[in-house]
Each structure stands twice: as C-alpha cells, then as structure tokens.
Amino acid sequence: ILLITVSNCGPINIGNKKINIKKKEIGGYYIEVYAKRGKKYGSNCNVYLTIINKNSNINELYVEIQAIDKDKKMISVTNFLIKQAKKNEIINKINTFSEINSCGKIEDLNIFAG
C-alpha cells in the first residue's frame, strides 16, 4: 500500500493550463487574447487582452471572448469595451471568465468584435 501511495505523489498541474494566444484583425484593430489561471490557487480563469489600433477610425470597440470546451460548446464568455484608442496605441486589459473556476476546461477561444 505504501508503494501505491508514493507512486501517486508527483507534480500535479490541474487548472494551471495556459490557453495559447489567439490573434485576429477586426475593423483595423489587431487583437491578441489568451487565458490563464489567476495567481491564487483555484481562484479563477483570467482573460488577457491586447489590442492595437492599426488603422481604424472607430472610436469604440466591443470585444467578446468565448471559452470553448473539448465538445466545442461555449462554457463562459467575457467582454471588453475599448474607447478612444489612438492609432498605434497598445491597450492591455484583464477580465475573468466568471462561469468557470478552471482554465483547464477550455480547449479554445473565440474572438468577436464590432
């Protein structure tokens, strides 16, 4: 019994998954987004957004990020509102997927903006 217990003690990385950066250009804005667990153990799944106004005259941009699971179902959504972005300005924002506690459930991210 001791051998079974010892063999099961190893590094466990549950919920510490980082979702790869997704990139998209919409309406003259370059958008990058990824998801990663918050700094506290088991706290939440944060969404990190970077936007660059490449050549858009649109003063306000609504960005929606959807978390997709392994079955291709949306399991959470978060959004950002970007206002008055000057050309070539880099904007970084963080938000949370409130419907899930672990980034480990996410397989993909969808980006929508307008």
pTM, two decimal places = 0.79
Tens-place pLDDT, residues 83-105: 988 999 999 999 999 888 888 88
Q: How confident is the model at residue 43 (pLDDT cuts 50, 70, 90)?
A: low
pLDDT in tens, 52-78: 999 888 888 999 999 999 999 999 999
Return phi, psi of residue 43, to 5°.
-75, -60
Calculate mean pLDDT across residues 39-46.
71
Residue with the two structure tokens 């649109």: 58
